[in-house]
Amino acid sequence: MTAAHIHILTTEGPVLIQRIAEEDPGIRSVVCVDGRAEALPISPAYDAFVRRPTGVIERFTGHGAYRMDVASAVTEGQSWQLAVYLAHVAALKGAATPAVYATGEVDHDGAVRPVAYVERKLKTIGPLDPDAVILVPADAVPDIDTVEGVRLVRVATVDEALAAVGLEPPAVPVAAASLARPAHRPRTARFRSVALALAGAVLLFWLGFQPAQWAGMASEGRLLDLETALDAADGVGRVQAGLFRTYMSARRPDPNGVRVEAAILAAPTGAACGEAAKAFSPGDALAAGETVCRAEVRAFAGNEGGVVVGRLAYWPDGLGVGRAARILRGSAEPGGRFWQIDFAGNPPPGAVLRLALIAGPADVSGAQPWYSDLLSTAQGGAALEATVQRLVRLGYAASVYDWRIR
Amino acid sequence: MPADDPQTQLALAALDADAAARALSGGTPSRPSFAELYAYATDPAFEARPALLAALVRDPSLRAELRRLLGNVAKHSFPRQAAAASGAVARREVVGAMLALTISRADPGQAYLGIELTDPAAPPPSVLSLVGGDGAPVRLTLPAFAGGAVQMLLETAGETYRLLADPETEVFLI
């Protein structure tokens, strides 16, 4: 329960925002009713309202995934945005507010846009505390001044709304800051200001909105999001994206630093696979008639640290032929990762194990389309090289290892 | 092949008639019809009779039949993880699709089930079917996918979460 008492005005009546809590960055923000495990249909719109680059909440909280609980369902539209914005600011600051009733859409620049059915929403408000605040977009319902004895406050921006409920605006993003300049200054001071402004411009160029956002994605391992954002950059952003790729490429770990250990376990009979299995290096010849029990593979991050992740694919009919019978994500171990694959029957001649490793600063989250090429295309081929380079430009090193089992 | 397609209906009726005749002549106890099992596997709107669910719990061969049927019709099948997994499964991945369970930070009694398709333009699944080592299978209608992904909330004490986290469970996206 938040200390703020902020209500979304709806045509069915005011809906209290009960709680806003941070969630794992890998999930999408959701709106639920009263703690229940059911996401409301407005959840995707709430996620877009929160998450960069479309959203406004992550810009001042630095976090991109939340769960918001409301007292009853809010079914459609965007007019919940003003109340939700205020609730996020109050939650960030841990601030209490008077009872607030708000309707309005919030755009990317913090302007409060007009919404429909304001008069109908106001009619659903019951008795109010005298210190309650009702917020509506500027120019809304010009012929209504008070509801239940409380004056309407018309707001054109979120800052006006925050001021009306006694909340300080959240920290202003760097790019929106402006430098106040005195009318007259000594020459040295002016020179220093120019130098500072230039340094600031350079800093903005490097650390401004987009590179900071990209760096955040890279550190969270959101590689596909990062790639999409870099590809979508235009104008100055395109230059920044090119430099960012160069920067990330230079900082990627050395793929040769990753250490891989693999063993094939075989036994005279399938029944002896438990205790009697002997380990062979993948290149060693097995004795005739031996049963291949399982393969165990370990990969360890290099001395530079970081994270190594990957997939192990089993191709019974040869690399890239038909469908991989198994694709394993492996399990994390101290300093690396471990894969184990059990063979139900003896692998046929030509069966291949392909290990695809990705090493970088963080575990990779989200969809990972590059694995289809990493796990199936021939070493030395153009497709594999293109995929490796695709990851290199995102700051990750990729490598593959093949073992013919028999 | 949709279950309400007239040719499918005809074929299913023929299969059922054949099974019924064999059961009568062989004296074997009757089991739910193949048409019913097929509808359960393929039709999101189909409501299973309690008798069908009871038979699926009771009869391992019927469950295996359902598993094979689901494997044939599923857009994506996630196999059992017993060989490689230890403890609860938090993530399953096959070529074309990924499925992840994330415990809610806000409410540890709930978890997010996220499903992502590698190709966002691919026809999205509409049903999630779970067949565990024992017990009744669970079927869940999925919300609409957006950008090749969908997310749902689950109670961690619920059967759906239990099955998804169990490495013995096979998962099918239909």
The pLDDT tens digits of the residues spanning A317-361 come to 888 888 888 888 888 777 788 888 887 777 888 888 899 999 887
Report the pLDDT averaged over residues A87-107.
92
Q: Is the CB of residue B112 less than 8 Å away from at least one CB of chain A?
A: yes
- Inter-chain CB proximity A366 and B84 less than 8 Å: no
- Which tokens sit at A170? 């959240």
- Inter-chain CB proximity B93 and A26 less than 8 Å: no
Looking at CA atoms only, how far is residue B92 from chain A in angstroms? Answer: 8
Taking contacts as CB-CB distances below 8 angstroms, the residues of chain A near B106 are 19, 21-23, 67
Q: What is the pLDDT of residues B14-29, one digit of tens each?
A: 555 555 555 555 555 5
Give yes or no for residue A5 having a pLDDT over 80.
Answer: yes
Torsion of the alpha carbons at A368, B103, B113 and A219, rounded to the nearest 10: -20
**Beta carbon pairs, A and B, within 8 Å:** 78
Say which residue, A256 or A58, is predicted with more confidence: A58
pLDDT score of B64 = 84
- Which tokens sit at A62? 């630095």
Q: How much of chain A exceeds pLDDT 90, in percent?
A: 29
pLDDT score of A99 = 92
Q: Is A64 exposed, middle or buried (0-12, 13-18, 19+ CB in 10 A)?
A: buried
Whether residue B2 has a cis bond before it, omega within 30° of 0 = no
Looking at CA atoms only, how far is residue A15 from chain B in angstroms? Answer: 20
Give yes or no for residue B37 having a pLDDT over 70.
Answer: yes
pLDDT score of A209 = 58
Q: Is the CB of residue B110 less than 8 Å away from at least one CB of chain A?
A: yes
Q: Over the Cα atoms of chain A, what is R_g?
A: 29
Residue of A nearest to B118 (CA): A369
Taking contacts as CB-CB distances below 8 angstroms, the residues of chain A near B105 are 21-24
Give yes or no for residue A21 having a pLDDT over 90.
Answer: yes
How far is residue A328's CA from residue B144's CA, in Å, rounded to a whole number? 28
Q: What is the pLDDT of residues A257-274, one digit of tens each?
A: 778 888 778 787 777 776
Q: Is the CB of residue B144 less than 8 Å away from at least one CB of chain A?
A: no
The band of A181, judged by pLDDT with boundaries at 50, 70 and 90, is very low
Q: Which residues contact B130 (CB under 8 A, 6 or more apart)?
A: B137, B138, B139, B140, B160, B163, B164, B169, B170, B171, B172
Taking contacts as CB-CB distances below 8 angstroms, the residues of chain B near A328 are 84
Q: Is the CB of residue B141 less than 8 Å away from at least one CB of chain A?
A: no
pLDDT score of A185 = 45
From its phi and psi, is residue A166 left (phi > 0), alpha (psi between -120 and 50) or beta? Answer: left
Q: Which residues contact A198 (CB under 8 A, 6 or more apart)?
A: none
Report the pLDDT averaged over residues A201-207.
57
- Inter-chain CB proximity A39 and B152 less than 8 Å: yes
- Which tokens sit at A269? 């009979």
Taking contacts as CB-CB distances below 8 angstroms, the residues of chain A near B83 are 294, 340-342
Q: What is the pLDDT of residues A220-238, one digit of tens each?
A: 788 888 888 888 888 777 7
Whether the CB-CB separation of A37 and B155 falls below 8 Å is answered with yes
Instruction: Give, to the nearest 10 degrees, the angle between helix B34-42 and helix B50-58.
Output: 100
Q: Which residues contact A336 (CB under 8 A, 6 or more apart)?
A: A259, A298, A299, A300, A301, A308
- Inter-chain CB proximity B105 and A24 less than 8 Å: yes
Give residue B157's identity as a one-letter amino acid code: A
Whether the CB-CB separation of A24 and A9 falls below 8 Å is answered with no
Q: Over the Cα atoms of chain B, what is R_g?
A: 17
pLDDT score of A129 = 86
Give yes or no for residue B1 having a pLDDT over 90.
Answer: no
- Inter-chain CB proximity B84 and A331 less than 8 Å: yes
Q: Is the CB of residue B62 less than 8 Å away from at least one CB of chain A?
A: no
Looking at CA atoms only, how far is residue A255 from chain B in angstroms? Answer: 24
Give yes or no for residue B86 having a pLDDT over 60.
Answer: no
pLDDT score of A336 = 81
Say which residue, A214 or A111, is predicted with more confidence: A111
Distances, alpha carbon A26 to alpha carbons A21, A221, B97, B149, B173, in Å? 14, 10, 16, 12, 21
Instruction: Give, to the nearest 10 degrees, the angle between helix A236-251 and helix A223-232.
Output: 140
Query: CA-based angle A306:A308:A311, to the nearest 5?
Result: 165
Closest residue to A21, CB basis, from B79, B100, B105: B105
- Which tokens sit at B103? 């415990």
- Inter-chain CB proximity A326 and B79 less than 8 Å: yes
pLDDT score of B163 = 94
Whether the CB-CB separation of A325 and A350 falls below 8 Å is answered with no
Q: Is the CB of residue A39 less than 8 Å away from at least one CB of chain B?
A: yes
Taking contacts as CB-CB distances below 8 angstroms, the residues of chain A near B148 are 367
Instruction: Extract the runs of DSSP E, i.e. beta strands, from A173-306.
Output: 259-267, 278-280, 291-300
Distances, alpha carbon B98 to alpha carbons A48, B117, B160, in Å? 22, 6, 17
- Inter-chain CB proximity A67 and B107 less than 8 Å: yes
Q: How much of chain B exceeds pLDDT 90, in percent?
A: 36
Best of A18, A20, A24, A33 to mutate (most B CBs within 10 Å, chain B): A24
Whether the CB-CB separation of A53 and A229 falls below 8 Å is answered with yes
Taking contacts as CB-CB distances below 8 angstroms, the residues of chain A near B71 are none
Q: Report the b/e string of A66-88 with b at 16+ CB within 10 A.
A: bbbbbeebbeebbbbbbbbbbbb
Beta-bridge partners for A280: A264
Whether the CB-CB separation of A57 and A49 falls below 8 Å is answered with yes
Mean pLDDT of chain B: 82
Beta-bridge partners for A298: A261, A338
- Inter-chain CB proximity B155 and A37 less than 8 Å: yes
pLDDT score of A88 = 95
Distances, alpha carbon A15 to alpha carbons A142, B5, B88, in Å? 24, 46, 38
Report the pLDDT averaged over residues A83-111.
92
Q: Is the CB of residue B79 less than 8 Å away from at least one CB of chain A?
A: yes
Report the pLDDT averaged over residues A80-95.
93
Taking contacts as CB-CB distances below 8 angstroms, the residues of chain B near A367 are 98, 116-118, 148-149
- Inter-chain CB proximity B83 and A341 less than 8 Å: yes
A168-182, A233-247, B91-105, B127-141: segment of lowest average pLDDT: A168-182
